[in-house]
Structure 1
Amino acid sequence: MKLLIVNPNISQSVTELIEAEARRTASPGTELTLRTAALGVAYIETRAEAAIGAYATLNELADHFSGHDAAVVAAFGDPGLEAAREMLPIPVVGLTESALMSAAMLGGKIGIVAISRRIRAWYAEPVVRYGMTSRLAVIRCLDEPLANIGSVQQDKGEQLVALCEAAIRDDGADVLIIAGAPLAGLARSVAQRIPVPVVDGVSCAVQQAELLSHLGPAKATAGSYAAPPAKGAKGLSPALGQLIGRGDVQ
């Protein structure tokens, strides 16, 4: 089993957090390839940043998917996920969808804990897209500037635990998602302190990617997830052009 994991942000420190949790979670014998976006921002908070992250992610997937059995878009909000499913012949999963679907099997109302207030709208939109609005209890967020995205777990760990406790006490959350790649692994480290199940997007996505690969689903040849139709293209990398423009790239 070979999994390709793409961090849609430019922060190598976050990629290292993703890799550490992915390696703890992956099945024995699973090989991981980690890639960091070549362009974009340190961490995604807005729709504009997400659009840039999606493009960077599609570039990385196009360049490196060959030889892999499945891929993971490793940012909460899943930038580029549905486009990647159209484009690639292998299963592709994202942190948000994987965490939501896993959380839904562990409890009724789902609480999401995130790293910034501005990120709330971007996180709420995929909840709607995945049809999980009725299951959402709350999105609680840190409300302070982040000095270093790679050390947010150490810098804000107690505040994040307090947000988890408030989501249970005040909002009725039955299960929690500690959201975002910069928080990869935090759910594991605080699980004994939280009185409801806590899930992590990276660990959920890795195991679901393995599951989908084992199931061996066929690539769609009809419907909205069939490969994009052939057409002229300009300014794309050769690999992305082969998948999007079918090779007719200027």
Structure 2
Amino acid sequence: MKLLIVNPNISHSVTDLIEAEARRAASPGTELTMRTAPFGVAYIETRAEAAVGAFATLNELAEHHEGHDAAIVAAFGDPGLAAAREMLPIPVVGLTEAALMSAAMLGGRFSIVAISRRIRAWYQETVEMHGLAGRLASIRCLEESLRDIGTVQTDKGEQLQALCEAAVNEDGADVIIIAGAPLAGLARSIADRIPVPVVDGVSSAVRHAESLAALAPRGALAGSYAPPPVKEWSGLSPALGALIGRKS
């Protein structure tokens, strides 16, 4: 099995974190192709940045999806996920959706622990989009500015663990979701210190992607995820343009 994993941020240090956790989670024999957005921002916090990340992600998926069994949008908030599902002939999984589905099967109410306060609105909207707002106990975030997005786990490890504990003790969370690609692998390292299940988006996405690929679902020919209608296009990469109105 071959999985294509795209980091919608431009931070190669974050791609390294994603890859490390993805390899820990992947089944024996699963091959990973890692890609980093060639343009955009170091890490996505806002709707505008998410829109840029979505475009970068769609370009990477279009260029590199051939020969893969499934793809992963490796940023919390899943920029470009729905569009990718319309265009690609393989299953596409996002970190947020995968983490939410895992959390929903592990407990009743979940809390999200994130890296910045500005990111809260976008995460809230993503949870609402998936119809799980009623099961969201809280979103807790770091308050301090980040020195380096690639070292946030080591720089803010104690604060992040404290946020997880507060979500359980004060907000009533049954499950904790560690949000965002820069925190990939943190759930694994602190799981034995938190009294409820701790979910990582990267490992969840890898496992869900493997499951969907193994199920070998047919691509949509009708409904809202049918391929886009054929039309003229301009200014897109040839690979992305070819997916606009691809023949089913």
TM-score in terms of structure 2 length:
0.99
Counterpart code for 2:81: L
Instruction: Spell out the pairing of 1:112-191 with structure 2 (5 A cutoff).
Output: 112-191=112-191
Distance 1:78 1:131 in 2: 15
Instruction: Spell out the pairing of 1:87-102 with structure 2 (5 A cutoff).
Output: 87-102=87-102
Q: Given the alignment of the two structures, is residue 226 of structure 1 paired with residue 208 of structure 2, yes or no?
A: no
Task: Return 5+ residue gaps in structure 1 as ranges.
Answer: none
Q: Deviations over 1:17-37 (max 9, x none)?
A: 000000000000000000000
The SS at the match of 1:6 is: strand
Q: Residue 195 of structure 2 corresponds to which residue in structure 1? A: 195
Deviation at 1:244, TM superposition (A): 1.3
Query: Is the contact made by 1:99 and 1:199 (CA closer than 8 Å) also made in structure 2?
Result: yes
Query: Is the contact made by 2:57 and 2:73 (CA closer than 8 Å) also made in structure 1?
Result: yes
Q: Which runs of 4+ in 1 moved over 3 A?
A: none
Q: Deviations over 1:128-172 (max 9, x none)?
A: 010101110000000111010000000000000000000001100
Deviation at 1:245, TM superposition (A): 5.0
Instruction: Give me the CA root mean square deviation.
Output: 0.8
The SS at the match of 1:171 is: coil
Counterpart code for 2:43: Y
The SS at the match of 2:44 is: coil
Query: Is the contact made by 2:113 and 2:160 (CA closer than 8 Å) also made in structure 1?
Result: yes
Query: Is the contact made by 1:44 and 1:50 (CA closer than 8 Å) also made in structure 2?
Result: yes
Deviation at 1:243, TM superposition (A): 0.2
Distance 2:197 2:223 in 1: 37
Query: Is the contact made by 2:227 and 2:245 (CA closer than 8 Å) also made in structure 1?
Result: no
Q: Residue 53 of structure 2 corresponds to which residue in structure 1? A: 53
Deviation at 1:11, TM superposition (A): 0.1
Counterpart code for 1:57: T
Q: Given the alignment of the two structures, is residue 80 of structure 1 paired with residue 80 of structure 2, yes or no?
A: yes
Query: Is the contact made by 1:232 and 1:245 (CA closer than 8 Å) also made in structure 2?
Result: no
* Number of residues of Structure 1 aligned to a counterpart in Structure 2: 247
Q: Residue 30 of structure 2 corresponds to which residue in structure 1? A: 30
The SS at the match of 1:35 is: strand
Q: Deviations over 1:40-72 (max 9, x none)?
A: 000000000000000000000000000000000
Query: Is the contact made by 1:97 and 1:130 (CA closer than 8 Å) also made in structure 2?
Result: yes
Q: Residue 69 of structure 1 corresponds to which residue in structure 2? A: 69
Query: Is the contact made by 1:2 and 1:70 (CA closer than 8 Å) also made in structure 2?
Result: yes
Deviation at 1:125, TM superposition (A): 0.8
Task: Return 5+ residue gaps in structure 2 as ranges.
Answer: none
Distance 2:188 2:81 in 1: 25
The SS at the match of 2:139 is: strand
Distance 1:187 1:244 in 2: 38
Counterpart code for 1:50: A
Query: Is the contact made by 1:233 and 1:245 (CA closer than 8 Å) also made in structure 2?
Result: no
Distance 1:63 1:170 in 2: 46
